Structure 1
């Protein structure tokens, strides 16, 4: 697996002691997924099935659908931020969603943002 050299945060990821780099062994599944998804998503889903992981982090809609069809539990970036807000790891979900869209280049619909904010009590119902 190639790590993002030169990308913001890549050095932290490359040196984090809690991150383990693993290679897939199930090449057939990887190639099959690759007919519909890109390389990284195909590899992530394959590794998730091999490791029998509790969940997989995916944001791309097609990859999320494919993983869910395979019976995998899928969580996205917004879901992680909701969890972090509920557990006191971040003070403002609104601020983090704004950072995702303005600084991170994420495309989030107004409906997704509103639903997320409502779920943590940062937006009137």
Structure 2
């Protein structure tokens, strides 16, 4: 597995609407930080940023605003595209291109420049 364990805060669990066995649910302890972050990002992202910051963990996020705020707070961030590149490098995927295309067909927005960079990093240019 690329990331172990995978931990999400309660608000993200609520957003999923289902329990996923391999995801651990943990609450951030700094409720003040969560409240401040909720002024600029949604509740799930606020809890996720606070939890990552408290624990010194990497945050998995694609939302531009959430990524920006996390980085401002010193949290290391990786997005879905970065995870795909890492999975390819680890030999867990044979190709990222079909997955990128499927994601875009489902409404996942990526700039042409990001797609090109992901393909380059995955050795699929």
The TM-score, its normalising length taken from structure 1, stands at: 0.84
Cα deviation code 1:44-83 (max 9, x no counterpart): 0011122221x11010011111111111110000000000
Counterpart of 1:75 (choices 74, 78, 95) is 78
1:100 aligned to which of 92, 100, 103:
103
Tell me, in whole angstroms, the C-alpha distance in 2 between the residues paired with 1:114 and 1:26: 39
User: CA distance change for structure 1 residues 44 and 118 in 2, over 3 Å: closer, same or farther?
Assistant: same
Q: Deviations over 1:10-66 (max 9, x none)?
A: 4xxx242x421112221100011111111111010011122221x110100111111
Partner residue of 1:39 out of 25, 28, 43: 43
Q: 1:63: which partner in 2?
A: 66
Task: Tell me the SS of whatever aligns to 2:91.
Answer: coil
Q: Which has the higher strand share?
A: 2
Query: Cα RMSD (Å) of the superposition?
Result: 1.3
Please list every run of 5 or more consecutive structure 1 residues that lacks an aligned counterpart in the other structure. Answer: none
| Superposed structure 1 runs of 4+ greater than 3 Å apart | none
| DSSP 3-state at the match of 1:20 | strand
Whole-Å Cα distance in 2 between the matches of residues 113 and 15 of structure 1? 29
Q: How many Å separate the matches in 2 of 1:4 and 1:34?
A: 18
Paired residues of 2:56 and 2:75 also in contact (CA < 8 A): no
CA 1:15 to 1:67, structure 2 compared with 1: closer, same or farther past 3 Å? closer
